[in-house]
Structure 1
Amino acid sequence: MMSPVAIAVLSVSMSADAFAAAIGRGAQHRPTVPQALRSGLVFGVIEAITPLIGFALGVAAAGFVAAIDHWIAFGLLGAVGAKMIWEALKRDEETVEAADAGGKAASRGLLALVATAVGTSIDAGAVGVGLALLDANIWLIAACIGFTTFALATLGLLVGKAAGARLGKIVELVGGVALIALGLKILLEHLGVLAG
């Protein structure tokens, strides 16, 4: 069972990619508040669905990996966190400028928005697999992730409109560190180093 604090950390961490992407979209397209709310809803719904899919896959495999489930959860969360940190560190000024310049008109459509939301939610599917191995309350966690992503993506679009895309790098770094810390906490609790 995950604590409310762990669920909150997970929700914010899973939302970091969407927040960073939303900042970039906001800087490009300068959305109105209703447009930001609609786009945030797309991010939130997709981000809530992907851990459910991952959870279903994890439940199917749980019987085979029960003895090492804590290591798998640690590995998945650590890998996703490390990937977020790596992507944030390799994103440089040219990458941000290229993203700003490339496809401004084409990326305004719903298809581009959905593709961005799916791309930022893939990691949540991997986390869903890990949550299945922990026998977590996936419905509560998916709802929290979805709501948090909706709120942060909407905010990100509006912040991006005002501040530009560079803030997204910092958000992605913090989210990656938080996921690694959460994975380490799960492992240390299972090994008896920390009280659960």
Structure 2
Amino acid sequence: MGFLELLLVGIGLSMDAFAAAVCKGLCMKKVYIKNSLIIGLLFGGFQGLMPLIGWFLGKQFENYITSIDHWIAFVLLGFIGSSMLREGIGGKKEEEETLCPIEGEVLNIRELVGMAVATSIDALAVGVTFAFLKVDIIPAVSLIGVTTFIISFFGVFAGSYFGSKYKSKAEIAGGAILILIGLRILLSHLNVL
């Protein structure tokens, strides 16, 4: 996997974190850089940590499934991407209602950690595919973490400024990117590309 593909994976994975950051921005009357930094660091940190954990798990089974690793990557990325597409198209109205805590608790760290974990679970599965594809993991998770940090940081400001208007579009774009990357991995291993 080259730099551009890893960057696109990072962007695709960060769309859930972006959507959550937008929602946090909606809750803030005034956005402070410190708050955006905290949200970006938590979301980016977990988004970088989860693929690393997945990579370690995938390495344990690498020898057993090398012959079908491209199919696994295709299925996992397709599943994650289609899940993001469904969320983006269908929307989760009840979830949005619970994202704004009572005033004065906008940066509840426990809540933010929970959101960071929830938005990075799909990155765990991507980390498993990285192990099968023999991706150099440290640069990959660094790029994913930094990409998510930047996108989440600006997502807080976008939420404060634009509102929830672009949340579903971000999830749709992220899902489409992951599906296309999964398809490309499959086609290149089948020597179609």
TM-score range normalised by the length of the shorter chain? over 0.9
Counterparts in 2 of 1:108-123, with a 5 A limit? 108-123=107-122
Measure the CA separation in 2 of the matches of 1:104 and 1:65.
Answer: 49
CA contact (8 A) 1:96 1:166 kept: no
Map residues 24-35 of structure 1 onto 2, 5 A cutoff. Answer: 24-30=23-29, 31-35=31-35
Q: Does 1:193 find its partner at 2:173? A: no
SS class of match (2:65): helix
| Percent identity over paired residues | 38
Partner Cα separation in structure 2 for residue 89 and residue 99 of structure 1:
20
Letter matched to residue 112 of structure 2: L
Equivalence map 1:42-191=2 (5 Å): 42-91=42-91, 94-95=93-94, 98-99=97-98, 103-105=101-103, 108-191=107-190
1:107 CA displacement: 5.7
Aligned partner of 1:8 in structure 2 is: 7
CA distance in 2, matches of 1:104, 1:49: 30
1:132/1:23 CA distance change after superposition, 3 Å: same
TM-score by length of 2: 0.94
Does structure 2 retain, via aligned residues, the 8 Å contact 1:13–1:175? yes
Q: How many angstroms apart in 1 are the aligned matches of 2:180 and 2:163? A: 29
Q: Secondary structure at the match of 2:83?
A: helix
- String of CA shifts for 1:149-192, please: whole Å, max 9, x gaps: 00000000011011112311100100000000000000000000
User: What is the rounded CA distance, in whole Å, between the counterparts of 1:133 and 1:86 in structure 2?
Assistant: 27
1:9-68 CA-to-partner distances (Å, cap 9, x unmatched) read: 111111111011100111112431121112111111111000000000000011111110
**Is residue 20 of structure 2 the alignment partner of residue 18 of structure 1?**
no
The TM-score normalised by the length of structure 1 is: 0.92
Count residues in correspondence: 191
Partners of 1:167 and 1:104 in 2: how far apart? 24
* Native 8 Å contact 1:33 1:158 kept in 2: no
Q: Secondary structure at the match of 1:39?
A: helix
Unmatched tracts of structure 1, length 5 or more: none
CA shift, 1:95, in A, is 4.0
Structure 2, gaps ≥5 residues long: none
C-alpha distance in 1 between matches for 2:142 and 2:151: 14
In 2, are the aligned partners of 1:29 and 1:104 still within 8 Å (CA)?
no
